């Protein structure tokens, strides 16, 4: 995705990422399953996006995410099953 005028500055993004990493670490330490953690984070992310974006913008974000999964980008692979 391309950076836009509403995107957070890199230091803010880095800080937010560190907070999320700590939250994941905490939940993992509480023996919450990876699927439950990921589902909660995704649900929260979708709700946050819905506050400031129209449905079509959210759909484009999700399409980019799907393309990343299909290409193997998330696993660092070549996209082959």
Query: Both tokens of residue 12?
Result: 């803010």
- Let me know if residue 5 belongs to a domain: no
Q: Are 64 and 49 in contact (CB under 8 A)?
A: no
pLDDT at position 71 is: 95
Q: H/E element holding 74?
A: none
- Let me know if residue 39 belongs to a domain: yes
What range defines the domain where residue 32 resides? 10-71
- Let me know if residue 52 belongs to a domain: yes
45-71 per-position pLDDT tens digit:
999 999 999 999 999 999 999 999 999
Tell me the pLDDT of the chain averaged across its residues.
Answer: 88
- Let me know if residue 78 belongs to a domain: no
pLDDT at position 3 is: 55
- Let me know if residue 76 belongs to a domain: no
Number of domains in the chain: 1
Predicted structure pTM score: 0.71
Q: H/E element holding 50?
A: helix 34-52
């Amino acid at each position: 995705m391309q950076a836009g005028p509403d995107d957070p500055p890199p230091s803010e993004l880095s800080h937010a990422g560190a907070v999320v990493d700590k939250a994941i670490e905490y939940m993992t330490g509480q023996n919450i399953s990876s699927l439950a953690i990921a589902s909660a984070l995704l649900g929260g992310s979708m709700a946050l996006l819905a506050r400031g974006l129209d449905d079509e913008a959210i759909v484009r974000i999700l399409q980019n995410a799907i393309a990343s999964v299909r290409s193997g980008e998330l696993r660092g692979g070549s996209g082959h099953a």
